[in-house]
Structure 1
Amino acid sequence: MSLSRRRMVAGLGALAAGPVLADPLIVPPGVAPERLARDEPFWAAVARQFRVSAEFVNLENGYYGIMPEPVRRAYHRNVDHLNEVSSYLLRTTYKAQADQVRQRIAALLGVAMEEIALTRGGTEALQNLIAGYRGLRPGDAVMYADLDYHSAQYAMNWLRDRRTVRVERLVIPEPATRRAVLDTYAQALRERPGVKLLLLSHMNNRTGLVLPVKQITALARAHGVDVIVDAAHSWGQLDFTIADLDAEFAAFSLHKWMGAPLGSGFLYIRQDRLADVDRVFADETYPPQDIRSRVHSGTMDVAPILTVGAALDFHDALGAARKQARLRYLRDRWVHQVRDVPGVEILTPEDPAMYGAITAFRVSGRTSEADNLAITDHLMSRHRIFTVRRGGVSAGDCVRVTPALFTSADDVDRLALALRDLATSRPMVDA
């Protein structure tokens, strides 16, 4: 059964009715992040900073992140201001304001502002890096894994005809232990000597697995392979800097776990590697030595970019370590309640360094698209829990579960009960 349009419209209509608290966020000092992660009254106060539908439990927060109220209000002000002053803003103060955003992003990542270029999202950033990479010659190869982002895979496949290169694909093993993942990449790099460019997801959007990027990058570098890191899902969800990834090229989203408006992201190119990525369509708006020449989005809606500062304020007030601890706690809470349920397979390991909020599960023997759509429909229609089916995993489709900062312990407990019900309701799932 598919979610009916009437039900979805009714749910969206309920957004305006949700209670909202605009009080400043007060974080208790001196409390370890792991301890604060279990403080439900504190996280209830955080949840009141978000305007969320009460019609269902939203556990599909990987697509994009709901803006907290201070950010939503700042965005509305910026939309109104842009509409009022129009091109005057774009021709006067916008570039300086955008540079302030770049400077704040750079400071959080531990890099220089000159290594950051703003984009409309992580996808655009990835496409520009992949399409613009200059280190390929006819007969070379590029490589990605089954769990990498589909749009990035398409861009890598596009290189086959445009650059006359081979496309290699590897499969990340299940169970995906740290050792198994490192061995898989080491073997692939060793056995495919023609590879010159590797796409590497810090946290993939299918199962939520977090890879040991720094170690894999070192393996690639030893084989003369450059790496483009997809960090769209990890930044704001995990606590890290560029140094922790040892990345030279990376793509980020701001409208996922940083809570900025839709249409905001950026790419990173280490300053001494800028010449290895072409200007977009020979862009002459900026000189070749300016990273901003690696992005050309035309006349875009700048209100999301102007709102990034408010999103970073909220992120700073809460703190990356606290966000990471809370999201891992919510993941652990539901996963540990269902690990003993027969037929329910959890697709991320128990190593905390290899997951954040996102985790996928699979019901044994239910690996098709139809099977997993039936599972997500069952969870929504019977339990009012919204999840999403994910394909592209070599071992079979799965269901992705993604709590957010506004998710309560009761919400994930409800999911755990629903999965136990699911295990005894196979005829309904099969229908």
Structure 2
Amino acid sequence: MTVINRRTILQGAVAGAAMLPAAALRAAPAPAPVRAGGVAGDEAYWAEIAAQYDVTDAVIQLENGNWGMMSRPVLAAYQQMVAKVNRDSSFYARRGMGTDMVAVQDRLAGFLGVERDEIVLTRNATEALKALIGGYNRIRPGQAALYADLDYDSMQASLESAMTRRGARTIRIALPEPATWQNVIDAYAQAFEAHPEIKLVLLTHISHRTGLKIPVREIAALARVRGIDVIVDAAHSLGQVDFEIAGLGADFVGLNLHKWMGAPLGVGAAYIRKGRVSAIDPDIADENPGSGSIRSRVHTGTVDYAASLTLPAALDFQARIGAPAREARLRALRDRWVGQLRDLPGIQVLTPDDPRMHGGITSFRLAGRTSEAGNRALAATLLDRFGIFTVHRTGLASGACVRVTPTLFNSMADVDALADALRQIATAGT
């Protein structure tokens, strides 16, 4: 087993950052990833990882789903790249940056296991998914698109707007609660059967509301035999769980790199399987819409190029940990606090314990308390009385909840503190 520590991480990433851009973009192969077995609960090992993050000591930070914190090596690489882009300006942009950006795209394609012309960088998953949903042109008047209550708000709105423009309609379902592997599959199968006019479905791999991980591959297979295209929102799954794009069974995927992969803010990607680009209209601002290139489907204008150019440093950092170990650690943190509360009267844990159906995110509520105000107040109590930062979530058919999102810098002591606080709150009935 390859074990990394503070010194090896810093040497590997900062040394490369000192020679940006070329060395960072053509990084040496990372050490073999650690194996997940046994390492998930090794607090000494994860303390070394946590030491690579400058975490506030004002609170116990258990709300890490908004965006991911850059590790120190990645932050150092980003700061150097910001300085370079600022210093060399258009002299670099017009003479060398294009080649470097292609190298970034090659590196990302290799990481995702896809071809370079199947991905395009975006500023976030929302931008990627807006392009995919808004540009999807296989819908005809009278047909329909399907989404669920756990899907991201902006994606629901995008589907509503896009279908209205194309003379189609939307169908919304509520996913089962409690969820099981089979009843989630059945919910989509029943919707497909009841509504043969459905020609597009949005599937959120891991929900930002509850952390529910749905059986995307199985649902996509059901959709495919009915001639239904699938768009996957993988904003929260990339880096939280170990998977391959091809394994999702979908032709269109939106991704984030600045959440669980720890790249700088402003880095995402859209995936369109080779041969399916024509199903997505070119962006209205694209100057060469007939090119057939995936790049014509997203037009961002000027972006934070330093953020994109830092992506290889983030991939290096995560590669040294390894996807299986990262997933195992996030699950272990989640299972630690959930295991203490699952059978506690007064606490309703919304995310199932089936390891196929969650990563690190899990949501809960006090039993019977489903209002937004009540869950907002519960998150405030955790912060004000116990110094634990979480966030309330709305939009579930069953009502509001509180989301807990641990990450790699969190310790078992952090989630133990959460469990203890919730025991006190449930016991007091407040």
| Partner residue, 2:221 | 218
Comparing 304-313 with 339-348, greater Cα deviation is found at 339-348
Q: Please state if 1:355 is matched with 2:343.
A: no
| Partner residue, 2:197 | 194
The Cα RMSD (Å) is 1.6
| Partner residue, 1:297 | 300
Aligned CA distance change for structure 1 residues 317 and 285 (closer, same or farther; 3 Å): farther
| Partner residue, 1:106 | 109
Between the aligned partners of 1:307 and 1:29, the Cα distance in structure 2 is 22
Aligned CA distance change for structure 1 residues 66 and 294 (closer, same or farther; 3 Å): same
Structure 1 residue corresponding to 2:132, chosen from 129, 132, 146: 129
Q: Secondary structure at the match of 2:270?
A: strand
Q: Secondary structure at the match of 1:36?
A: coil
Between the aligned partners of 2:341 and 2:306, the Cα distance in structure 1 is 43
Deviation digits for residues 385-408 of structure 1 (CA, Å, limit 9, x no counterpart):
000000000001000000000000
| Partner residue, 1:24 | 8
Moved over 4 A (4+): 26-31
Q: Please state if 1:163 is matched with 2:166.
A: yes
Q: Is the 8 A contact 1:251 1:266 kept in 2?
A: yes
Between the aligned partners of 2:332 and 2:309, the Cα distance in structure 1 is 32
Comparing 93-102 with 315-324, greater Cα deviation is found at 93-102
Between the aligned partners of 1:116 and 1:92, the Cα distance in structure 2 is 23
Deviation digits for residues 213-263 of structure 1 (CA, Å, limit 9, x no counterpart):
110000111111100000010001111111211121000000000000110
Shift of 1:22: 5.7
Amino acid across the alignment from 1:134: N
The two structures have a TM-score, normalised by structure 1, of 0.92
Question: 5 Å matches for 1:308-319?
Answer: 308-319=311-322
Shift of 1:30: 9.1
Between the aligned partners of 1:47 and 1:105, the Cα distance in structure 2 is 25
Unaligned runs of 5+ in 2: 11-29
Unaligned runs of 5+ in 1: 1-20
Q: Secondary structure at the match of 1:105?
A: helix
Question: 5 Å matches for 1:26-425?
Answer: 32-281=35-284, 283-284=286-287, 288-425=291-428
Between the aligned partners of 1:356 and 1:253, the Cα distance in structure 2 is 16
Q: Is the 8 A contact 1:335 1:346 kept in 2?
A: yes
Q: Secondary structure at the match of 2:317?
A: helix
Deviation digits for residues 371-392 of structure 1 (CA, Å, limit 9, x no counterpart):
0011000000011000000000
Percent identity of equivalent pairs? 51
Task: Tell me the matched-pair count.
Answer: 407
Shift of 1:274: 0.8
The two structures have a TM-score, normalised by structure 2, of 0.92
Q: Is the 8 A contact 2:36 2:325 kept in 1?
A: yes
Between the aligned partners of 2:79 and 2:162, the Cα distance in structure 1 is 40
Shift of 1:31: 6.2
Q: Is the 8 A contact 2:232 2:254 kept in 1?
A: yes
Amino acid across the alignment from 1:304: A
Q: Is the 8 A contact 2:382 2:421 kept in 1?
A: yes
Q: Is the 8 A contact 1:232 1:251 kept in 2?
A: yes
Q: Is the 8 A contact 2:251 2:273 kept in 1?
A: yes
Shift of 1:29: 7.7
